[in-house]
Amino acid sequence: MAVSLRVPDEVKRRVERLAGEQETTAHAFMVDAIREKLEAEEARAAFHAEATRRLSRMKKSGLGIAAAEVFGYLEKRARGGKPVRPKPRRVA
């Protein structure tokens, strides 16, 4: 599939400069940039889909863990501690 993009002159100059510094072509640089953006957006969509599934499961089960408990647990872990995992409880 052939694609034609109208790229502003200022963007073209920046792409050409960076492509030259990376010893690649402007075309390859733009294809890589598009690929990176696609991967980031796909990862974002997957993250949101997983969050939606988990929220639905939480609402269905009625079980959850308070955010303060989660953050406290993570902070202790980040400091090298071995805290006890918070337990899910019924939420209102």
pLDDT digits (tens, 9 = 90+) for 6-61: 999 999 999 999 999 999 999 999 999 999 999 999 999 999 999 999 999 999 99
- The pLDDT score that the predictor gives to residue 23 is 97
- The pLDDT score that the predictor gives to residue 30 is 97
Which amino acid makes up residue 76? K
Please count the structural domains in the chain.
2
As a whole number of angstroms, the distance between CA 52 and CA 1 comes to 34
Residue 89 falls inside a structural domain: yes
Residue 2 falls inside a structural domain: no
User: Hey, what's the torsion of the CAs at 51, 52, 54, 56, to 10 degrees?
Assistant: 160
Is residue 57 located within the same domain as residue 12? yes
Is residue 12 located within the same domain as residue 55? yes
Percent helix, strand and coil across the chain, each rounded to 5?
65, 5, 30
Is residue 31 located within the same domain as residue 42? yes
Is residue 71 located within the same domain as residue 87? yes
Could you give the angle at which helices 26-61 and 9-21 cross, rounded to 10 degrees?
100
Domain residues for the domain of 67 are: 62-92
Residue 23 falls inside a structural domain: yes
Is residue 76 located within the same domain as residue 47? no
pLDDT confidence bin for 1, thresholds 50/70/90: confident
Is residue 44 located within the same domain as residue 83? no
pTM as predicted: 0.71
Strand partners, 64: 89
